[in-house]
Structure 1
């Protein structure tokens, strides 16, 4: 069996095993069991549609990260729609100046975040990326970078502190 099909089958089996916990994770983010069910189902479909990453070492973490990202995307989309269509009766929808301003602020915040990442040492930046973007545990990051888990904890804390001024503009309110 080719690697992609084998990995997809493994993820599908893990999905079935962890479905209840995935629902709980999504429900905590969304505040609704019904919406969580939709997001978890979407995650399953996405897992079946595209091949799993070839270097996937933590398939369970990958499942939870996929569900978490889909739930957050849903909240962001819902917040944007509510800002776009606030005060409209559903007949016509126009993009308001507030949305354009939000886009400009988000663009500026992303630029600030990129600058903050560039100021970090390459090791701290890599620890942050592995942990926050790729979903690796701090222990796995420590192993990959050849440092202690305690040092990884401090590097992630420092990176979070460096990025904190940008956070309020990048996350939904």
Structure 2
């Protein structure tokens, strides 16, 4: 007996997106919990039954993953865990003033990195990052495809990653 077409398509989608979602969780919660949260994101997405009907399943999966991460933070706050122990980072915390300075310096570097991008690309990136709009909402508001939104955000993120790599 063969699997339904939607299951086969989801399996291909899973293989294509697993590393990206797992990388997101590794950056947010660390290596130990990333695999479980990645699995949970795909399970929730598949369980929603929306895979076959979505125009931008990648964006929907990103939203599912982000919501799982935010729920995890809320649960930790309720339990009184404000900052989970990260054994990989045993260095002493730099003084508050130095952290604020480094943060301002990094923000300036991000703005310098985004400045050469087109006005439309910057606007799309800021709509997503600052206003928290989904790819679909941005596409609807600007009258462009979801894929165009995704490509422009990827372009802006690539520039931001280069800046972040220089500052670490």
TM-score by length of 2: 0.45
TM-score by length of 1: 0.44
